[in-house]
């Protein structure tokens, strides 16, 4: 029953979105999950926030209103996940992805028919230590995914960034560029330099000389890199977030117990910012207050104003 109920909701959601945004009559008459509306068209952004439940339940609940993983992953496709495995920290410290959610994400991709799921990160600490301490190597292997570290320059491909304002070229993980489906899997964290680490900051881990970006203009570079290969889906792991001493920690953590999913990388970052309090105003951060989110919005990568995004909160249980 539950399943049917959810499916019904999905369709209505879809119909509403299509009607308000594009208002194409033929789409209203042929409602179909196999024929979703264009993902990045403005005003159509869907942002689902799932609360209450085990990581696996949260993920399923967050994806269902978007049309399930089947909307993003088709039979036989190669999926690349950019996880956050940057630091040699344990899962409890909230600096790297939740292993259980991570496994659920890989499994759900395979269930949707993925041919291969590869997980990548260009780690900051030595990859051998981050992979083992975070428990994510074991998790990936258990779930049947390949886990790769970008510690060698040979796995990157030099590319031009035509839409970049300050960063005109960079070396990007070849596997990400050539993937059929690209999923960004960030964990929101405090960050001294950029205030917060959100989805687009996580994407810096697909760049070879990450540290060099600080020399140019970090915020603009984050936005510029995000123009290259837009993630088809962003799954934000907000089960436990790091609120101080980020991004490496260890610091204070907060159990939010949420998983957010969206195909709009700006909207989800704008939402992710609200988990944290702005020390200057004492109120939760707004997307505009995080410069890289603002820059990404200016580049037309998505919707920053949450009032203009269809935000849907669901309970996983």
Residues making contact with another protein (CB under 8 A): 88, 116, 124-126, 128-129, 132-133, 146, 148-155, 174-175, 178, 191-194, 211-212, 214-215, 217-219, 245, 247-248, 250
Q: Which two tokens stand for residue 290?
A: 């995080």
Between 6 and 78, CB nearer to another protein:
78
Instruction: Considering the complex, state which of residue 69 and residue 88 has its C-beta at the smaller distance from another protein.
Output: 88
Considering the complex, state which of residue 42 and residue 288 has its C-beta at the smaller distance from another protein: 288
Q: How far is the C-alpha of 175 from the C-alpha of 78, rounded, in Å?
A: 10
Least Å distance, CB 238 to another protein, is 21
State the minimum distance, in angstroms, from the CB of residue 146 to another protein: 7
Q: How far is the CB of 131 from another protein (least distance, A)?
A: 10
Beta bridge partners of 184: 82, 234
Nearest residue (CB) to another protein, 156 versus 297: 156
Return the residue matching tokens 């600080």: 214
HEC assignment per residue over 227-260 = CCCCCCEEEEEEEEEECCCCCCCCCCEEEEEEEE
CB of 64 to another protein, least distance (A): 31
Write 8-12 long-range contacts (CB < 8 A, 24+).
Answer: 9/64, 9/65, 10/64, 10/65, 10/67, 10/68
Closest CB 172 distance from another protein, rounded Å:
13
Query: What span, in angstroms and rounded, lies between the C-alpha atoms of 116 and 76?
Result: 8
DSSP single-letter state for residue 312 = E
48 or 83, CB closer to another protein?
Answer: 83
Between 86 and 105, CB nearer to another protein = 86
Kind and range of the H or E element at 272? helix 265-273
For the CB of residue 194, give the shortest distance to another protein in the complex, in Å.
Answer: 7
């Amino acid at each position: 029953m539950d399943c049917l109920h959810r499916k019904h909701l999905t369709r209505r959601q879809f119909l509403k979105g299509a009607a308000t945004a594009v208002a194409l009559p033929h789409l209203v008459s042929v409602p179909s999950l196999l024929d979703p509306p264009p993902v990045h068209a403005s005003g159509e952004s869907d942002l689902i926030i799932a609360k209450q439940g085990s990581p696996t339940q949260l993920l399923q609940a967050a994806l269902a209103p978007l049309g399930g993983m089947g909307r993003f992953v088709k039979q036989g496709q190669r999926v690349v996940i950019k996880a956050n495995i940057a630091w040699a920290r344990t899962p409890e410290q909230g600096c790297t992805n939740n292993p259980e959610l991570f496994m659920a994400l890989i499994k759900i991709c395979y269930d949707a028919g993925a041919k291969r799921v590869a997980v990548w990160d260009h780690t900051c600490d030595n990859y051998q230590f981050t992979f083992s301490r975070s428990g994510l190597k074991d998790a990936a292997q258990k779930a049947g995914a390949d886990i790769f570290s970008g510690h060698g320059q040979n796995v990157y491909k030099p590319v031009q960034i035509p839409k970049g304002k300050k960063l005109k070229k960079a070396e990007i993980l070849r596997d990400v560029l050539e993937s059929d489906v690209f999923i960004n899997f960030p964990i929101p964290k405090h960050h001294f330099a950029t205030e917060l680490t959100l989805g687009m900051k996580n994407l810096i881990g697909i760049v070879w000389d990450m540290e060099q970006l600080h020399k140019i203009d970090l915020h603009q570079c984050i936005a510029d890199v995000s123009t290259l290969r837009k993630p088809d889906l962003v799954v934000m792991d907000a089960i436990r977030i790091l609120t101080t001493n980020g991004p490496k920690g260890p610091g204070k953590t907060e159990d939010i117990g949420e998983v957010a999913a969206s195909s709009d990388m700006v909207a989800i970052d704008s939402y992710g910012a609200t988990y944290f309090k702005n020390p200057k105003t004492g109120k939760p951060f707004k997307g505009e207050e995080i410069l890289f989110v603002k820059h990404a919005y200016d580049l037309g990568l998505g919707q920053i104003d949450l009032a203009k995004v269809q935000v849907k909160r669901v309970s996983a249980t």
